[in-house]
Amino acid sequence: MTPTTETMVGIGGAAESTDMVLNIGPQHPSTHGVLRLKLLLDGERITRAEPVIGYMHRGAEKLFEARDYRQIIMLANRHDWLSAFSNELGVVLAVERMLGMEVPERAVWTRTLLAELNRVLNHLMFLGSYPLELGGITPIFYAFTEREELQHVMEEVSGGRMHYMFNRVGGLKEDLPAGWTTRARAAVADVRSRMDRFDDLVLGNEIFRGRTRGVGVLAPETVHAYGASGPIARASGVDFDLRRDEPYLAYGELQDVLKVVTREEGDCLARFECLLEQTHNALDLADACLDRLAELPPGPINQRLPKVLKAPEGHTYAWTENPLGINGYYLVSKGEKTPYRLKLRSASYNNIQVLVELLPGTLVADMVAILGSMFFVVGDIDK
């Protein structure tokens, strides 16, 4: 009988499915600012995602309570540094509502104009940086070229490049410089004439479309559950825009020009398309505001205020359609020169929470595409 040899083969744990925890961040290159994502992976697939926030927390809401109504504007314009003018706007609208103050017509139209220029500046940053995160280097250079064109006119009128500090309770800091509207109109026309670069270079790129179409689909139910807003929500078919649905400033008179851009797909590509089309519409709104300002007779740009400004006792809530979504301020006053409480509802804070639902089930390779399409500013999350 021929002797036989038995061989025992042991299969170790390496062949079994094992979970791995992966930290994305909080290094700055990971995303737009210092955010940390704690991912639980099963191979290349994400099974759980947790956004870890707070690395940039400055306690702005508490600092509001120690500043008077003129000083809090400086704090308010910094949480979303890409939307500084719009951030200021929400604060002054809340205080003016508490005071029952009417703002001069020239200030109303100028605020609307500058808010839309600020919207374009915000969107251009993401229109350039999102393709960069997917490997497309060229669009960011075009985006900054167009941003500089508009930054020049914003800097001329306010004196600031990022933190404009141009809003005041009762209107604006000062009137527009001589000839500024002509230069602003030329800047808007120049930017509009070159916006097709993003249509052709980005949306026409098959690699970009392959990386974004059908990826990171956000359901309308999730949008409602987490309070997401702005282009992210509208890309999922949630047709809501405060400029149309609860008009403020001069938006009630701009309904013929205002276009609320929506998509039904809810994927990364739809979010980018919403952002791009909304940029086109913001340029149209800016032109409409410039036309109206040219028709207005000379007049004041602000209200005369007392040396010590005190809001009457009470509370109010003012919200605006910021570039990234709904931005709200809940103001409580005890009749003093400082707010008793000023609660900030920022767009990015709610928008980033949907990653808990959006990332599980997707591949790690798609994580950057999904994260970049959420269009957030980390300071707007941490406040």
> Is residue 100 located within the same domain as residue 187?
yes
pLDDT of residue 21: 86
Non-local (6+) Cβ contacts of 62 within 8 A are: none
Angle at the Cα of 152 from the Cα atoms of 147 and 156, rounded to 5 degrees: 145
The span from the first CA to the last CA of the chain, in angstroms, equals 82
Asked whether residue 39 falls in the same domain as residue 81, the answer is no
Residues 166 and 23 placed together within one structural domain of the fold = no
Q: Which residues of 298-312 are buried (b: 16+ CB within 10 A; e: fewer)?
A: eeebbbeeeeeebbe
User: 210 and 92 in one domain?
Assistant: yes
Residue 2 lies in a domain: no
pTM of the model: 0.91
Burial profile 75-100: b = 16 or more Cβ within 10 angstroms, e = fewer: bbbbbbbbbbbbbbbbbbbbbbbbbe
Domain count, the chain: 2
Shared domain check, 84 and 117: yes
Q: Could you list the pLDDT tens digit for every one of the 383 residues in the chain?
A: 555 554 444 444 444 456 788 888 776 544 455 788 899 998 889 999 999 888 878 788 999 999 999 999 989 988 888 999 999 999 999 999 999 999 999 999 999 999 999 999 999 999 999 999 898 899 999 999 999 999 999 999 999 888 999 999 999 999 999 999 999 999 999 999 999 989 888 998 999 999 999 999 999 999 999 999 999 999 999 999 999 999 999 999 999 999 999 999 999 999 999 999 999 999 999 999 999 999 999 999 999 999 999 999 999 999 999 999 999 999 999 999 999 999 999 999 999 999 999 999 999 989 999 999 999 988 888 87
Residue 7 within a domain: no
Adjacency order of strands within the sheet including 341-345:
314-322, 325-333, 341-345
Is 79 a member of any domain? Answer: yes
Residue 132 contacts residue 369 (beta carbons within 8 Å): no
- One-letter amino acid at 31 equals T
- 306 belongs to a structural domain: yes
Tell me whether strands 341-345 and 171-172 are parallel, antiparallel or unpaired.
unpaired
For residues 72 and 39, membership in a common domain is answered with no
* Cβ density class 22-51: b for 16+ within 10 Å, e for less: eebbbeeebbbbbbbbebbbeeeebeebeb
CATH code for position 277: 1.10.645.10
Residues 48 and 67 in one domain: no
4 within a domain of the structure (yes/no): no
The candidate with the shortest Cα–Cα distance to 249, out of 82, 76, 110, is 110
Does residue 9 lie within any of the structural domains?
Answer: no
Phi, psi of 4, deg, nearest 5? -115, 155
At CA 104, angle to CA 101 and CA 107, rounded to 5? 110
Whether 47 and 65 map to the same domain: the answer is no
Check whether residue 105 and residue 164 sit in a common domain: yes
242: left (phi over 0), alpha (psi -120 to 50) or beta: alpha
Helices (H) and strands (E) in the chain — how many of each? 16, 8
Is the four-CA dihedral 334, 337, 340, 341 of positive or negative sign?
Answer: positive
Residue 9: the pLDDT is 42
Which domain covers residue 45, as residue numbers? 19-52
Residue 11 counted as domain residue: no
Q: Report the length, in residues, of the chain.
A: 383
Please check whether residues 257 and 326 belong to one and the same domain: yes
Q: Is 76 within 8 Å of 376 (Cβ atoms)?
A: no
Give the pLDDT score at 13. 46
Find out whether 271 and 311 touch, Cβ atoms under 8 Å. Answer: no
Q: Does 162 lie in the same domain as 217?
A: yes
Q: Is residue 3 part of a domain?
A: no
Q: In this structure, are 166 and 37 located in the same domain?
A: no
Confidence at residue 8, expressed as pLDDT on a 0 to 100 scale: 43
Structural Rg of the chain based on CA atoms: 24
